[in-house]
Each structure stands twice: as C-alpha cells, then as structure tokens.
Amino acid sequence: MILKDNGTEVHANLNKIRGLVGFCPQNTFLLTNNTVYENLAFFAEIKKIPQPRIETEVQKVMTRLGMTNYRDMPVSHLSGGFKRKLNVAIALLKDPKIIIMDEPTSGYFFLSEYLLGRNGSGFSEKFLEDY
C-alpha cells in the first residue's frame, strides 16, 4: 500500500512527514544526568531544528508548559509527573501538526487538564470527541 500526503507518496517525503509528527511515549526516555533544558535541546537537535533556532524553540515549549523555573534542574531530581511533562514538551518541539501520545494521562493530572483545554491548548473538538 502506498500512503499519500496531499497527492505525494509518503515514502518519497519521509523527512517532511516526520517534521509534522510529535511522539510522546508511555515511558520516559530522558537523559537523567542532564538538565531539563539540555534534554529539550538534545531532542531539538534530533528533530533537526536548526542550531540558531534551538534556544527559541526550547524556551517557547518550556513557557507553554510552565517549565521555565525548572530549566536548569537535573532530570534526576524531577518527580515522575514532571518527567512525563518533559516528555510532552519534547513531543511539542517543532510545532508538530500531529501528536501521537501513548497513554498520555497515565498518572499525570497536568496533561489531563491540558488535553481538556483548560490551558487553551487548541485541541480540536474532533480530537476531544475521539479522545
């Protein structure tokens, strides 16, 4: 089967498609000896955000999720819920059009509120109906 994106074969444009998708796994895959900022910057590089834009992109995501006060905190000092929040922040880097979340609210009240729109998340009505 050949998938198409606006009439273009997906396999021919994988880099473009990857740029449209954010993924938040159920388990956290974080660099525990590094800070919140360093983790976000590392994953920004993996997502191929140009080096001059990494600082701005990371700051935008941290602000959006209320994480700026934790910028320099080592991940090893974070609670389980905050590590989950950091995973969500990583998924939101590069403003993906599609976010795939594996059990996003498992043990995580903040994300439940975010998904329900209490933070002005901008999730569509269709998303909330399906969720």
Q: All domains of the chain, ordered by start, with CATH?
A: 4-130 (3.40.50.300)
Torsion over CA of 125, 56, 32 and 65, rounded to 10 degrees?
Answer: -30
Say how many CA atoms lie within 13 Å of 76 toward its Cβ: 4
Spatial separation of the C-alpha atoms in residues 77 and 63, rounded to whole Å: 20
Q: Is the whole-model pTM more than 0.75?
A: no
pLDDT by residue for the chain (131 residues), tens only, comes to: 455 556 556 666 776 776 777 887 777 789 999 999 999 999 999 999 999 999 999 999 999 888 999 999 999 999 988 998 899 899 999 988 888 878 766 655 555 555 545 444 454 444 444 44
Spatial separation of the C-alpha atoms in residues 73 and 36, rounded to whole Å: 6
